[in-house]
Structure 1
């Protein structure tokens, strides 16, 4: 799964290196991981809030339409546009949460079973992507077929992460805070493995990417749910709103700074 198997210079770059100008995925930096974790938390609480406010069916339908619109806008771009990209990630987070919750609540599928099913789906996407394109390196995503594979993998990781997070927090009874601390520790494993054991960068990236979902969701649930459920009882609506503001600031400020720097240089 190492990016060095590709034949192009851009595809040989590891997941944390400079992003080619034609890539439609942001450079993988500390800021990337921070915003990614925030979007997972927002997706969890927003999904719960919409399902309770609108009802499950209207919530899923509305989220599906917004997801389709966000992915269409992302597909129409010719380069990485932060606002468009992260809007798509947020909607994938919301809809992915609903997919896992519907499988459990409406269909009665245990979280352990749905987690296994989503894991197999993700493995199938990775296998087909790897076989077709020769690499899973995200910096090579420039549109077309690679972008379809990328977003398919992203949606599968969100659904998988949601099922795993609910499995530990609810089914196993560990609670949201304990589960969040567990995933915070686990997410350091791929980074250490890449540094110390030379785990391929692409494998380490996707390993960590899957774990961002239960990590952000568990802490967001802990903040939003009632004290009877082991939370801080801040409410899923207010938590979603705060996370949305923080995400917009985290995405918008660097973009604005880059534009100012460009004008100054010109």
Structure 2
């Protein structure tokens, strides 16, 4: 029997997947879908920017409630939430730029500050920014707030380089891909801080995926390959579905967490 000074340990399940190669592949695919699906709803289905934003925000709210209420990480639920938050993050930036006339430079700066503020407040409450211990409601809410701002920031930064700085979609994709390689090298070769490198890579995959999505979907006169938003969104959604089915069957990305029983664990 443990004494009063001893701590009983308890195993919980992390609410987010383990960071593996599958995580990054699906993240980039979801990012691309966020860009092309927003354009598809806006232009092809004629929802308009406001209508698209309202519909996707409602869907995100529904799945966010389901995700937070879930007892553990559920692959299909988690990744649907990521896809939806990717679309909503894109639309937040598009509304600021297209409807309110905020410049891409200002939007990039605003979301950089918003993300930094989220990290500061998150750390002030939890004393960690690690994604390996997302087992309380408060930590999960901080996590999703950070995710939303990374998508909004990545959208603004990607559009700023591709359109504002006129680098084009292909060059923008190469630029952000090179930056991701640099972050990877810092982590593996220089033993960089794992949390800092993770969030840096997470931010950079957003403009990478968006640039790839635009490169595939936009017409050749606009600098793309002309596949269209329907084909691009369908292709990437099918790839996401296949990987999620595989992970659901194998549970390869399920990550347990061991915590002190006496800790204030706000279980879902």
Tell me the TM-score normalized by structure 2: 0.88
Aligned to 2:236: 243
From 141, 147, 156, the counterpart of 1:148? 141
Alpha-carbon spacing, 1:132–1:112, altered in 2? closer, same or farther (3 Å): same
Structure 1 segments of 4 or more deviating over 6 A? Answer: none
Q: Cα deviation per residue 1:239-259 (whole Å; 9 max; x = unaligned)?
A: 111111100001111322349
Determine the structure 2 residue equivalent to 1:41.
32
| CA displacement, residues 41-88 of structure 1 (integer Å, 9 cap, x when unaligned) | 000000111111211111110000011011111011111000000000
Paired positions, count: 242
Q: Contact 1:75/1:143 (CA < 8 Å) preserved in 2?
A: no
Please name the residue that 2:262 is paired with: none
2:169 to 176, 179, 184: 176
The answer for the alignment partner of 2:182 in structure 1 is 189
User: Using the alignment, how far apart are the partners of 2:94 and 2:60 within structure 1?
Assistant: 17
Residue 194 of structure 1, CA deviation = 1.5
Q: 1:30 maps to what in 2? A: 21
Unaligned runs of 5+ in 2: 1-6, 253-268
1:166, 1:237 → 2: CA distance? 21
Unpaired stretches in structure 1, ≥5 consecutive residues: 1-7, 11-19, 260-266
CA distance, structure 1, for counterparts of residue 58 and residue 168 of structure 2: 32
Give per-residue Cα distances to partners, 1:93-113, cap 9 Å, x unaligned. Answer: 000000011111111111110
Deviation at 1:197, TM superposition (A): 2.4
SS at match of 2:186: helix
Are 2:82 and 1:102 aligned? no
Distance (Å, rounded) in 1 between the aligned partners of 2:20 and 2:251: 16
- Give the TM-score normalised by structure 1: 0.88
Q: Which has the higher contact order (CA 8 A, sep 6+)?
A: 2
Q: Is 1:127 aligned to 2:147, yes or no?
A: no
Q: How many Å apart are 1:196 and its aligned residue?
A: 2.5
In structure 2, how many angstroms separate the alpha carbons of the residues matched to 1:232 and 1:40? Answer: 18
Distance 1:94 1:258 in 2: 26
1:87 and 2:52 aligned? no
* Equivalent position SS for 1:80: coil
| 1:229 matched residue in structure 2 | 222
Residues 58-69 of structure 1: pairs in structure 2 closer than 5 A: 58-69=51-62
Q: What is the RMSD computed on CA atoms of the aligned residues?
A: 1.6
